Amino acid sequence: MFKKLFGLDKKKEEVQMPEADGKDVLVSPADGEVVALSEVPDPTFAEKMMGDGVAVKPSSGKIVSPVTGEIMQLFPTKHAVGIKTVNGVEILLHIGIETVNMQGEGFKAHVGEGDKVSAGDTLIEFDLDLVNEKAESTITPVIITNGDAVASMDKVEGEKVIAGETTILTIHSK
């Protein structure tokens, strides 16, 4: 009875995973401007040591899922999240540069490992001003970490973007 009274009898709505079609379209994880990885002030990302992709200079402190998939990893400091698409493409969203040193301060996760997400779902909220103050940069790389699974990638760079709406990458899987 208490479950029904407080709505606890309702199951969480499950995200329907689309069929794999060999193509993943990624929307921007944040409002702001999409830039080339070469503009990221960290050689690990700028020199594509972790993989190829793009980066977003966020204008607000909200990060959404760029794609429908599954949360594979949420870093304990909540500054980074890994998502696997239905086509097997692995995406790393890394909020800011040197944000790991903040030890989670100013970050709030809305997802956990194993959660299914749709493009546009809120993943993490963060205090943009605090990151500007305590980290090297707010720039947020969007990295494809398993490039060997990718046949080709079409990037959008140098444009203003809207979180959950503007396409920033189209990935064709092998």
CATH number at residue 135: 2.70.70.10
Determine what percent of the chain is predicted with pLDDT higher than 70: 89
Domain range spanning residue 65? 33-173
Tell me, yes or no, whether 110 lies in a domain.
Answer: yes
Tell me, yes or no, whether 157 lies in a domain.
Answer: yes
Predicted confidence (pLDDT) at residue 2 exceeds the cutoff of 80 = no
Tell me, yes or no, whether 119 lies in a domain.
Answer: yes
Q: Nearest 5°: CA angle at 171, between 79 and 113?
A: 35
Provide the pLDDT for residue 174.
Answer: 87
**Token digits for 137?**
């940069």
C-alpha span between 172 and 60 (Å, rounded): 30
For 95-131, b/e burial (b = at least 16 CB within 10 A) is: bbbebbebeeebbebbbeeebbbebbbbbbbbebeeb
Tell me, yes or no, whether 21 lies in a domain.
Answer: no
Tell me, yes or no, whether 13 lies in a domain.
Answer: no
Split into its structural domains, the chain has a count of 1
Tell me, yes or no, whether 3 lies in a domain.
Answer: no
pLDDT band of residue 22 (cuts 50, 70, 90) is: confident
**Token digits for 67?**
């794609």
Tell me, yes or no, whether 48 lies in a domain.
Answer: yes
Catalytic annotation, residues:
94
The string of pLDDT tens digits covering residues 77-119 is 999 999 999 999 999 999 999 999 999 999 999 999 999 999 9
Provide the pLDDT for residue 20.
Answer: 56
Tell me, yes or no, whether 75 lies in a domain.
Answer: yes
C-alpha span between 105 and 99 (Å, rounded): 9
